[in-house]
Structure 1
């Protein structure tokens, strides 16, 4: 696990500054405290920071081909590198290290860009090939590792984190209004945009080629929802158990201590159970809890830890949300309002005291239909031809029935009248369109859920007519890479910890997405097949436990520790003059929340994170972020 950054200029342009390369790598030192390196020539800078997990003493980067005409920097892990190495050695390639980085290099030298179709792993890769004068950037299939870039005819800047690009004075810093709209609705900026106009995220499963100032984007992989597998439940369960075991086993390759995040829910418990089957010593597991019962999963995690005999570490926290906020803002680079980043960072800090790598349960909900919103949408869609009359009836009932039930009925009716993509996205959004629109300074007009940034995501994945498949297809290209995996990467890397997600193994993803709906959702509950497979390994509560999520007590925080910070921030001159948020709308939300009449904690968190981000990244001079 590392961080990469770099700059390549077009022919005839001034040579890149080594000092810039040093700043670009130094600002992401948290991603790789173990080693650093920079390639520098008349046209290119390739820098990296290394967190050594495999081949600790070797695999220094940048790594070069035998004639030093090809240079590579790499962030991530390749889980099938041993198999690829054997194939390459059989073809005559000679290796000088024991790690996975050189496998990528030798694979590129043999197969060119087709090498990335052979990799099973998480990665952001940059290859500078002086033979062709071409820069190649590549990102893993599902977006586990990040990669930003900004390009013009003179140069391309790239990096694992946006803050590396911002070390260059000519990196664009103009806010993209569509990205801001998306953030105020969903709490994150969807790929391929970033918060800055003309700065982009390389989409998952894509390559970017830059040659003589010309930039081209190519997709090398995409998930497919079909054709559906024709298997009995017994056959499907046997295959799933094999694939899960292979996915976990391949992610246990490390030359440093490792463990796992454990919430006590089905996904993380399944991963830990499979780790325990493979390991000769107890698995180190890590859990964070809160004093508020509704947000505390410690008892569930303890139950699984006892059942599996893990070496369990836990911490009940009264987190300093005020003190943490600016740290989180710095590490996310863009406005990001998923408040579960707080416990994710805290459990990463806890784990980093004991290990350098952890396995997680991320991805299980998308693969096996685990989100409650999937089930609600499926119920909503079953109304079919009755949807419009039902929507009208609910809207009328909402106008008559007293609050809060009336508001709830009215909103269900409103959702039922929307087109499919908007109906689904209304369940993903943190903030209602009218609230998000009111917050936007000078926005004018109504805002809708059908942002083109999101609603076309998944449209080319062959999702067909299945409601579940269509929703999952959207999540695979938006919520998973732009929220869930961003949160894991940035918060783990902030603690110099590597996170690996076995559920995102390519073979497992391709299998799960082709399962018929009946093997994913049954009797009003998701993850049917996964529950059947994991039942013999886990205590009954882990199988039956309702999905809880990694939540935080935001409503109470805004009436407690965050109250003064929010009030002071909203009253500040910088906030009121910045022009991103309507101050009166923010004041109104805070007043209503403090009165106890309405829970506005999520939009308040969005506004607070946005302003703290602006102070860090907009008010700072270039190169000081």
Structure 2
């Protein structure tokens, strides 16, 4: 686990700055406090920060091959590197270390860019091939590890975090209007955009080749939603049990102490149960809770921990949300308003006191139909021809009834008026189009802000897909890599902790996506087959537990300790002059929330996060911790 960064210049231009390369890696030291390394030549600077997990003694980067002509830095873990190494050894390749980096290099020498699709892991890879003067950047299938890049006519910059690129004075710093619109809708910036025009995220499942100032972008993997298994439910359950066990076992390779996040929900509990089957010592598990009972899953986690005999660690927290938010803004680089980042940061902080790596349950909801919004989507889809009349009735009722009931009915009516995929994306969005438009006049109409995400999902939304598969395709393109996995990566790495997600094992994920809808959702319940399989290992209460999410008492905080933070933020001269949000609208939303008439916690949190991000990344010419 590392952070990487680098510069490659086009022919005929001045050599890249070694000092800039060192600043680019120094600013992400939290990603790898154990070691650093740099490659410098007349065309390229490649750097890394290392968090040592595998081959602690021999895994130093950059790694080299082909008589020092091919150089690699990479961030992540390759879970099948031993199998790949054996194949390469049979083909005559020699190895000097036990590291994954050397396996990636030798696979590249053997297979070229086809080597990327052979990797089972989470990774962001940079390979500088001096033989052909090519830079290859690659990102894992689901986007577990981040990779930003920007280029102009004379160079390309890349890095695990945007703050690395911002060490360069010529990195673009103009806010992208489309990215701002998306953020005010979803609370995150969807790939491949970043908040800055001219800076991109390498999309999941893609590689990029840079040569002589030109870029080639290629997709090497996409999730398959078209082909469905013909197994019976019982046969599928046996196959799923085996794949789950194999996926967890493959993620246990480590030369350092490790554990697991345990919420007491189905996904994390299943991961911990399978870990326990493969370990001789009790699994170290970590949970946090809040004093507000409605937001605490401590009892559920304790039940599972006792059942599985884990070494359980828990903490009830009363965080200083205002102070913590400043840390979160720094680590996310872009505006990010998923408030569950707070408990994710705190549980990562707790875990890092005991271990260096954790397994998580991320990905289970997307693959097995776990989100409540999937259930709502299918319910709305069943209205069929009644959709338009129902939408009109709900909107009229919403206008006549008092808030919050009226607001809720109007929002459902608005959603029903949208076409299928946009209707689903409106349920992912934190804000209605009207609210986003009121905050920022250029926020677009009710449809505009959904279209970039649908364009990227493209081929995955093919004709004949079920409504559930179409929604999952959208989430795999956007919500999973740009919200869920960003949150895990940044909050774990902020604490120099590695997080691994067994549900994203390629074979397991492909099988889950091949399950027919009835194996995932049935009779108003999600994760049907996963629950059936998990009954083998977990107590009934854990299997039946409904989706809760990693929530925090944000609404209460915004009527309490965060209210004045919001008020001061909205009253500042910088906020008024910046023009990202309308101060009068922001203050009106705060008053509505404080009165209890309407719950405005999501939009208020979005605006606060946006302004604090702007203070940190727009107002300062120097980006440093």
Q: Note the residue ranges of structure 2 that are not aligned, 5 or more in a row.
A: none
Q: Does 1:333 align with 2:333?
A: yes
- Contact 1:422/1:450 (8 A) holds in 2: no
Q: Which residue of 2 aligns with 1:53?
A: 53
* Structure 1 length-normalised TM: 0.98
Is residue 290 of structure 1 aligned with residue 320 of structure 2?
A: no
Verify: 1:451 aligned to 2:450, yes or no: yes
Q: CA RMSD in A?
A: 1.2
Work out whether 1:384 is the aligned partner of 2:384. yes
- For 1:73 and 1:324, how far apart are their aligned partners in 2? 32
The structural deviation recorded for 1:346 is 0.2
Tell me if 1:179 matches 2:179.
Answer: yes
SS in 2 for 1:208: strand
Equivalent-residue separation in structure 2 for 1:445 and 1:498 (angstroms): 38
In the superposition, relative to structure 1, how do residues 378 and 310 fare at CA in structure 2: closer, same or farther (>3 Å)? same
Between 1:544-553 and 1:447-456, the stretch displaced more is: 447-456
How far the C-alpha of 1:226 sits from its partner, in A, is 2.0
Q: Is 1:270 aligned with 2:270?
A: yes
For residues 444 and 106 of structure 2, the distance between their equivalents in structure 1, rounded to whole angstroms, comes to 55
Counting only pairs closer than 5 Å after superposition, residues 92-171 of structure 1 correspond to structure 2 as 92-171=92-171
Which consecutive residues of structure 1, in runs of 5 or more, have no partner in the other structure?
none
2:124/2:138 contact within 8 Å kept: yes
Question: Is residue 357 from structure 1 mapped to residue 354 from structure 2 by the alignment?
Answer: no
- The answer as to 2:575 corresponding to 1:575 is yes
Q: Is the 8 A contact 1:185 1:436 kept in 2?
A: yes
In the aligned structure 2, how far is the partner of 1:367 from the partner of 1:624? 38
SS at match of 2:548: coil
Counterpart-to-counterpart distance in 2, 1:293 and 1:43: 57
* Residue 231 in structure 1 maps to residue 213 in structure 2: no
Give the equivalent residue in structure 2 for 1:324: 324
Deviation per CA, 1:2-21: give whole Å up to 9, x if none: 00000000011111111101
Q: CA deviation at 1:421?
A: 1.6
C-alpha distance in 1 between matches for 2:338 and 2:431: 12
Task: Say if 1:425 and 1:449, in contact at 8 Å, map to a contact too.
Answer: no
> Aligned partners of 1:314 and 1:459: how far apart in 2?
43
| 8 Å CA contact 1:168, 1:623 repeated in 2 | no
Q: 1:227 to 1:180 in 2, by over 3 A?
A: same
Alignment check: 8 A CA contact 1:7 1:155 kept: yes
User: Over residues 570-621 of structure 1, what are the superposed CA-to-partner deviations in whole Å (9 max), with x where a residue is unaligned?
Assistant: 1111111111111111111111111221111111111111111111111111
In the aligned structure 2, how far is the partner of 1:445 from the partner of 1:118? 42
The answer on whether the counterparts of 2:190 and 2:478 sit within 8 Å (CA) in structure 1 is: yes
**1:287-322, CA deviations, whole angstroms, 9 ceiling, x for partnerless residues?**
010111111000000000000000000000001101
Give the structure 2 partner of residue 589 of structure 1: 589
Asked whether the equivalents of residues 387 and 416 of structure 2 are also in contact (C-alpha less than 8 Å), the reply is yes
For 1:396, what is the secondary structure of its paired residue?
helix
Answer whether contact 1:224 1:462 (CA < 8 A) is retained. no
Tell me which residue corresponds to 2:504.
504
CA separation in 2, counterparts of 1:83 and 1:457? 33
Q: Which of 420-429 and 199-208 deviates more?
A: 420-429
Residue number in structure 2 paired with 1:217:
217
Is the counterpart of residue 435 in structure 1 residue 435 in structure 2?
A: yes
Is 1:255 aligned with 2:251?
no
Tell me, in whole angstroms, the C-alpha distance in 2 between the residues paired with 1:342 and 1:273: 26
Q: Is the 2:411–2:432 contact (alpha carbons within 8 Å) kept by the matching residues of 1? A: no
Q: How many residues align?
A: 624
Q: Secondary structure at the match of 1:410?
A: helix
Alpha carbons 1:144, 1:485 under 8 Å: kept? yes
